Structure 1
Amino acid sequence: MSLLFRAFLLAVLCFGAASAAQTENKSDMNASEMIRLADAGDKKASRYIGIIYEQGLGVKKDYALAVRYFSLGDERDDITSQYHLGKLYESGLGVKRDYKEAMRLYMKNASRIDHVTADTLKAIGDLYANGLGVPRDMNKAKSWYEKAKKARER
């Protein structure tokens, strides 16, 4: 792993990125340890490794690996992973473009109304407005956009 990648991960960990790793000494954690935690079931580690690969933070962007780690996060019901994975399916980065799968992930996320983000609600509205993966329905799009607006005001 590159030194920059390790430094980034250490910085992320210092700010609580791997707080779910309760038995690990965060200050000594390196990239390979973070990946091991993600592979072992740590949903926060899965999310952050996914973001690192999606955005190319200290590593070359690798959407396929981002999909892998966001999928692990989704399996563990991590709403941030669900949103990012939905965006990758919607854009066809790292996976075959699949608007229905993107919508499924966004709707799974939206079912957690106390934790759903405005971005997720807007993404659902966009899919309805454009008829992507669902029949075009401007009334449903408007409803989801209104929910997104309310979520932004919280």
Structure 2
Amino acid sequence: MPLSKRKQQALFLLAYQYAFSGSTKRRNWKKIFSLWETAASAGHRRAQFYTGTCYDFGKGVAKNVEAAFYWYLKAAMQGHMDAQYNVALFFRKGEYVNQDHERAVKWFRLSAKQGDIEAKRELGYSYFYGYGVAQDQQQAVIWYRLAAAKQDARAMYNLALCYKFGEGVGLSARWARYYFEKAADAGHKGAGKELRKLI
């Protein structure tokens, strides 16, 4: 008998509570994984994503990249933002699947449209280098700016480099410094080195 939507949600939330609530650092990941996988197999989108992460990081189950991709893809096809980003990374890196930059861009774009900050930055990267799309540094800057506006350190660093070298934007030491400083404040290690070069 198939699990009802209500039962799927109950199993998902119970596993989520076990995984992320409480003060103890000890987690029964086998139990958590079992609950998520049960809900995932019945079609629960978020459970599919978390089942993928369990396989991805070996939490409660043996690490299995093939199974991780399988569950990420199922969640991504149901519109799960983070799963779409992860699927894009698989195609970008050629991990388990054949490297396919066009497919990576497709999934990055779907994730970015839902607001994923890292997906926006990676779209900028794709446009900057012409991976999976026609190279367009101005378009890259647009995506970097969208991610930088959400305090993404790598996007701010990339944007600073664009200003430093005049790629996709006008050459500007002032704006380069501004974004290097913001990236450094956000924890980007390379930004500090770049700032010292500007002094």
Query: TM-score, normalized by length of structure 2?
Result: 0.60
1:142 Cα deviation after fit = 1.1
1:33 Cα deviation after fit = 4.6
Pick the aligned partner of 2:45 from 6, 16, 21: 21
Pick the aligned partner of 2:179 from 144, 147, 151: 144
Q: Measure the CA separation in 1 of the matches of 2:129 and 2:92.
A: 12
Residue matched to 1:108: 146
1:132 partnered with 2:170: no
Q: Measure the CA separation in 2 of the matches of 1:101 and 1:36.
A: 30
Structure with the bigger RCO (C-alpha within 8 Å, sep 6+) is 1
Q: Measure the CA separation in 1 of the matches of 2:160 and 2:83.
A: 30
Q: Measure the CA separation in 1 of the matches of 2:46 and 2:83.
A: 12
Q: In structure 1, give the amino acid aligned to 2:162.
A: L
1:56 Cα deviation after fit = 0.8
1:121 partnered with 2:163: no
1:92 Cα deviation after fit = 0.6
1:32 Cα deviation after fit = 4.6
Cα–Cα, structure 1 residues 26 and 145, in superposed 2: closer, same or farther, change >3 Å? Answer: same
Query: TM-score, normalized by length of structure 1?
Result: 0.77
Give the fraction of aligned pairs with identical amino acids, expressed as a percent.
Answer: 24
Could you tell me whether the CA contact under 8 Å between 2:45 and 2:78 is conserved in 1?
A: no
Rg larger for: 2
- Listed as ranges, the gaps of 5+ residues in structure 2 are 1-32, 37-43, 56-66, 189-199
Aligned-residue RMSD, C-alpha: 2.8
What's the CA shift string for 1:126-150, capped at 9, x where partnerless?
1111111111111101111111111
What's the CA shift string for 1:63-112, capped at 9, x where partnerless?
00100000011101101111111111111111111111111111111111
Alignment of 1:11-50 (within 5 A): 21-24=45-48, 26=51, 31-50=69-88
3-state SS in 2 of match to 1:152? coil
Q: State how many pairs are aligned.
A: 135
Q: In structure 2, give the amino acid aligned to 1:77.
A: G
Q: Measure the CA separation in 1 of the matches of 2:132 and 2:46.
A: 31
Q: Measure the CA separation in 1 of the matches of 2:139 and 2:172.
A: 18
- Listed as ranges, the gaps of 5+ residues in structure 1 are 1-13
Q: Measure the CA separation in 2 of the matches of 1:81 and 1:127.
A: 19
Cα–Cα, structure 1 residues 136 and 81, in superposed 2: closer, same or farther, change >3 Å? Answer: same
